[in-house]
């Protein structure tokens, strides 16, 4: 696990293999959800002009920050069903008293990373692709504040916030987001290289100004 850093190397290798086989033709776009969104951004940063655009849904902004907020949220959940409740009780007993900074330090040693420096904001600022960032305002796994930080990363980044959606429900909102993302991709493909078009808003969506 590399919180997108290691995985983006693997995705880059796959893309290179597809290029060699002639299976990637025309503009290349990357799409990812949550951990996958961070991976897509890191991949775009590494591939430079080979990537035309990225759609990053509910990504974390910084891995260390994400762990510090997500673990307490997960431990506070009260799921339905006796099996899920039993697992939740065990998790709170096993992990509830742990210090998150110590946990992250141990993970750093195990993974060979500094999770507080696995920063998607910096990668977004460096990428040459156009990026559309999507986040639900009810997300408690990865708080919406992290999505807003991503939205301010660069002039090539556009941010859409979806009202009333959380980390689980947002990817299911194809009815709301499908046309918006499809139109943005089409607009981006026709735009001059130096211009990243803003997405078209619909009811339930809000854009964040820089």
Please report the pLDDT score of residue 200 as a whole number: 86
User: What whole-number distance in Å separates Cα of residue 56 and Cα of residue 160?
Assistant: 10
User: What whole-number distance in Å separates Cα of residue 109 and Cα of residue 38?
Assistant: 21
Please report the pLDDT score of residue 9 as a whole number: 96
Per-residue pLDDT, averaged over 184-209, amounts to 83
Per-residue pLDDT, averaged over 121-131, amounts to 95
> pLDDT grade, residue 100 (50/70/90)?
confident
The answer to whether 126 and 43 are in contact (CB under 8 A) is: no
> pLDDT grade, residue 75 (50/70/90)?
low
> pLDDT grade, residue 194 (50/70/90)?
confident
Q: What is the separation, in whole angstroms, between the first and last Cα of the chain?
A: 32
> Residue 139: is it exposed, middle or buried by C-beta count within 10 angstroms (0-12/13-18/19+)?
buried
pLDDT tens sequence across 52-72: 999 999 999 999 888 888 767
Please report the pLDDT score of residue 35 as a whole number: 95
> pLDDT grade, residue 191 (50/70/90)?
confident
Please report the pLDDT score of residue 82 as a whole number: 74
| Closest-CA residue to 58 (of 158, 167, 131, 138) | 167
| Cα-Cα-Cα-Cα dihedral sign, residues 49, 176, 159, 115 | negative
């Amino acid at each position: 696990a590399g919180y997108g850093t290691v995985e983006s190397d693997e995705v880059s290798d796959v893309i290179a293999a597809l290029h060699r086989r002639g299976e990637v033709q025309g503009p290349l776009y990357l799409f990812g959800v949550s951990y996958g969104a961070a991976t897509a951004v890191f991949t775009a940063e590494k591939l430079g002009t080979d990537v035309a655009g990225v759609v990053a849904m509910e990504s974390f902004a910084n891995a260390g920050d994400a762990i510090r907020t997500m673990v307490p949220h997960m431990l506070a959940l009260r799921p339905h069903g006796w099996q899920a409740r039993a697992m939740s009780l065990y998790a709170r007993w096993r992990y509830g008293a742990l210090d998150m900074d110590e946990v992250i330090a141990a993970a750093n040693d195990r993974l060979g990373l500094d999770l507080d420096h696995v920063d998607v904001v910096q990668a977004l600022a460096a990428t040459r692709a156009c990026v559309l960032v999507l986040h639900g305002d009810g997300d408690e796994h990865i708080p919406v504040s992290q999505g807003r930080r991503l939205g301010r990363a660069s002039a090539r980044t556009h941010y859409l916030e979806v009202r009333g959606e959380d980390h689980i429900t947002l990817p299911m909102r194809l009815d709301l987001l499908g046309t918006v993302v499809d139109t943005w991709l089409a607009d981006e493909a026709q735009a001059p290289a130096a211009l990243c078009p803003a997405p078209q808003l619909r009811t339930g969506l809000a854009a964040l100004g820089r």
